[in-house]
Amino acid sequence: MKLEEELRTEKFKTEQQRSALSILFTANWIEERTNDCFKRFGISQEQYNVLRILKGQKGKPANLSTVQERMIHRMSNATRLVEKLKQKGYVNRVTCEDNRRKVEITITEQGMALLEQIDPILAKTEIDIFERLNEQEIRDIGILMDKVRG
């Protein structure tokens, strides 16, 4: 559906305004659909993001700043997210004995098993989201978004 119809407006001030609103609206639309995948498993999109970051560490521990730097929603409270995941048994958090401010975080086997359950459902959702586009259009979106961010 056209953005004008979704937002019930006839015209935007500029094409830049239309594009910015279209990106924001579409990002929210995608987030709503992907959040359904995470809700089934009792975690948030941000918690899933932390688990994926830790999985990418391939067994090496990460500290809070590493997690924060790699997050999609960088304004998220990484400390709070890690604590919630720890309470659910999905991550381990160890405070360094030599430096109490240093915390090392790793994903648990239970966390890895959760990702194995979520990933195929999320992959199907992502395929469904982009079903109206061909492969080249999908690649073009990524290229254009990279270009916007510079």
Q: Are 33 and 129 in contact (CB under 8 A)?
A: yes
Residue indicated by tokens 């239970």: 110
Domains and CATH numbers, the chain: 43-149 (1.10.10.10)
121 vs 2 pLDDT, higher one: 121
DSSP letters along 79-122, please? HHHHHHHHHTTSEEEEE-SS-TT-EEEEE-HHHHHHHHHHHHHH
Coil/strand/helix, residue 106: strand
Q: Kindly report the pTM of this predicted structure.
A: 0.87
pLDDT tens by residue, 75-116: 778 889 999 999 999 999 988 777 777 889 999 999 999 999
The Cα 50–Cα 32 span in angstroms is 19
